Structure 1
Amino acid sequence: MTQDIDVVVVGGGQAGLAAGYHLRRQGLDFVILDAAPVPGGSWQYMWDSLHLFSPADHSSLPGRLMPAQPGETYPDAGHVVDYLTDYEKRYDLPVQHGTRVDGVHPDGERLLVEADSGTWRSGAVISATGTWSRPFLPAVPGRDDFTGRQLHTTGYRCPADFNGLGVPPAGGRGSVVVVGGGNSGAQIAADLALDGVVVTWVTQRPPRFLADDVDGRVLFDVATARRRALDEGRGDTGGVASLGDIVAVPPVRAARDAGLLHARPMFTRLTTTGIQWADGSQAEADAIVWCTGFRPALAHLAPLGLRGPRGQIPTAGTRAVADQRLHLLGYGDWTGPASATLIGVGRPARDAARDIARLLSS
């Protein structure tokens, strides 16, 4: 059975919920289809020690301030999950959890959304699936030869997961190579090193730490100023990238100041027991954590044939350039400045809802 509806939102994480909030304010009939069985988006899968870069009052979705977490300046991932769960209930958003969307197809003037629980014919679609379900692993020679444990950021939880690996040195807990010079690489390397794990941190370029007093509030303001400058035809300020790559959250500062975060250049291959650099030098490893980023989860949009360079769909704001019925939300700056953040997704979600309301009314 096919159901007719104004808008289908694919993805029920922070971007999907922000979209739902604004679609309701526009008086549109919509449904949010989310593959996860419970609320919380990707935050429910984060590692145990992860905290936000920003205080609670600067990490909120539209309409509802995130309450402070007792004893924490920067809330942890569990607090974010609780907030998103409450947000979904508070606004009675029509989220259907455990529903996987297989494809979005053109259907005359409308779009046909096929899911494992049914089919919707809608006037517009907002894709808000994020990137967490598409971890990226680089094609490094020897990756299949390594006999130790390999996992991506998505599989990391805590240092205790590495108990019993190899034959650790006195006072140690095995050796782990952490690959990646972004926030996740630095934070996971710090998490392991502060817990006594022998860590080799490997990055493509020397890590660039932001000033210790820079947090998410500053990053949001910088990203917004860059977008405003570009929209007004002024020069590119460089945005967040001009400040550095790594936010010096407290654990990262502690590990850095203790001399535990010394990055080495990227290796050229894996061996059966570790890694090898171009000069032939090697390091043994019991495990490798690939903190090598993600790609946008857009497979459900493949039937529309809109993918452009680097696998992205060209957009004007959040709207797909080649199909005004489709909006993409929360994938990064190419779908709105800071749109992959809690506080940043509200404005592009509002703009998308307004744009869709105008389209459907015409």
Structure 2
Amino acid sequence: MEEILDSVVIGGGQAGLASGYHLQKKGLQFLILEANEQAMGSWPHYYDSLKLFSPARFSSLPGLQFPGPPDHYPSRDEVIRYLQDYKNHFLLPVITNQRVESVEKNGEVFKIRTITGDTFQTRTIINATGSFHSPFSPVIKGQQTFKGHVLHSSKYRNPEPFIDQRVVVVGRRNSAVQIAIELAELSRTTLAIRQPVQLVKQRIWGQDLHFWIRAIGLDTFPFGRFGKKVPSTDTAVDLGEYKARLAEGKPDQLPMFTSFYTDGVIWSDGKMEPVDTVIFATGYRLNFSYLNPIGALDSEGNPLQVAGVSTSVPGIYYVGLEGQRSFSSATLRGVGADAQFVVRKLMLHLKN
């Protein structure tokens, strides 16, 4: 008879590894299912120059300090190495190449099936997959007639393929601004925006922004715990030169274009401009479709949950959702606290 586990974590990135840490501390029988060949989450797929916006001192998962000088800002590759080291350090039971295809509920037990045909039975599930693999791009009039290149920022790696091109980046948050500033070194680049970019300083009075966020409690204040939505922020962190670069028009900012035409875009003032490439830095959408048949999602596919605890299906939990319990819930520095909270709730469920 197939073993019934205490918990299965879906996703082996930062949220899944943090969940595994707390499950292991409680002595539970669990597995972490990772869709890819290694447990590194989405980090290998991000653009080459990406750096954390929080310094190493504020960027650790529970139980293992991020290596290096505490005030340096880790690169994408440093994060990848850290996640691998984290998994190995705690000997977390990760099974790779196990993308979840379906979830069934039989009484108090869930049956998980992956695309390889493997099945796992468990009393609880922690969903920790993030949303990187479900990029969102708006549908813009005339896009099907455009002969240039259109891509989502999830496919962007570095500026070399765009040298001397006319590029439009859609968006105004961190990824959009960082990509556009990088591209502006080698191409003529514009940020297409609904509202002007708003920057916040990375260092204030000699301390990193995250020091102050933590000091006043915003980083950990459990909004979601009380059913209150975490206030959204639509700003970009200034890594030092962003304000000056934007003031110089490298890149410039223009109101969002209204439509495409064959050779380019049509701006809000009616001007038609030839464009080589449009990059949508417009975020991601959750994709927990395998949970829909058991009633865990609303009509728009979003999880029915408060603070990471399902409100419709007992035994279903989440870690890594944006705004799940605090401003930092979807970040390397925030998933540990949310995982600890969720595992406490999970333990109570197992005891009932």
TM-score after normalising by structure 2: 0.91
1:183 equivalent in alignment to 2:174 = yes
Q: From 310, 320, 329, give the equivalent of 1:320.
A: 310
1:356 equivalent in alignment to 2:346 = yes
Deviation of 1:127 after TM superposition, in Å, equals: 0.4
> Following superposition of structure 1 onto structure 2, how do residues 1-362 of structure 1 map, counting pairs within 5 Å?
2-68=2-68, 73-117=72-116, 118-163=118-163, 173-193=164-184, 195-213=185-203, 215-219=209-213, 224=218, 227-228=221-222, 239=231, 241=233, 245-250=235-240, 252-253=242-243, 255-256=245-246, 258-308=248-298, 310-334=300-324, 337-362=327-352
Q: Deviations over 1:113-168 (max 9, x none)?
A: 111341111100000110100000101111111111111011000010224xxxxx
Q: Using the alignment, how far apart are the partners of 1:182 and 1:314 within structure 2?
A: 27
CA contact (8 A) 1:328 1:335 kept: no
Deviation of 1:189 after TM superposition, in Å, equals: 0.3
Q: Deviations over 1:157-189 (max 9, x none)?
A: 0010224xxxxxxxxx11111001111110100
Sequence identity (%): 34
Q: Using the alignment, how far apart are the partners of 1:307 and 1:188 within structure 2?
A: 33
Q: Deviations over 1:69-105 (max 9, x none)?
A: 69x8211100000000000000000111111100111
What amino acid maps onto 1:184 in structure 2?
Answer: S
Deviation of 1:282 after TM superposition, in Å, equals: 2.0
Q: Which has the higher helix share?
A: 1
Deviation of 1:329 after TM superposition, in Å, equals: 1.0
Change (3 A) 1:14 1:156: same
CA contact (8 A) 1:145 1:270 kept: yes
Q: Deviations over 1:39-97 (max 9, x none)?
A: 31111111011111011111000000101269x82111000000000000000001111
TM-score after normalising by structure 1: 0.89
Q: Using the alignment, how far apart are the partners of 1:33 and 1:65 within structure 2?
A: 24
Change (3 A) 1:156 1:255: same
User: For structure 1, which runs of at least 5 residues remain unmatched after alignment?
Assistant: 164-172
Secondary structure of the 2:237 match is coil
Deviation of 1:260 after TM superposition, in Å, equals: 1.1
Deviation of 1:230 after TM superposition, in Å, equals: 7.7
Deviation of 1:109 after TM superposition, in Å, equals: 1.1
What amino acid maps onto 1:45 in structure 2?
Answer: H
User: For structure 2, which runs of at least 5 residues remain unmatched after alignment?
Assistant: none
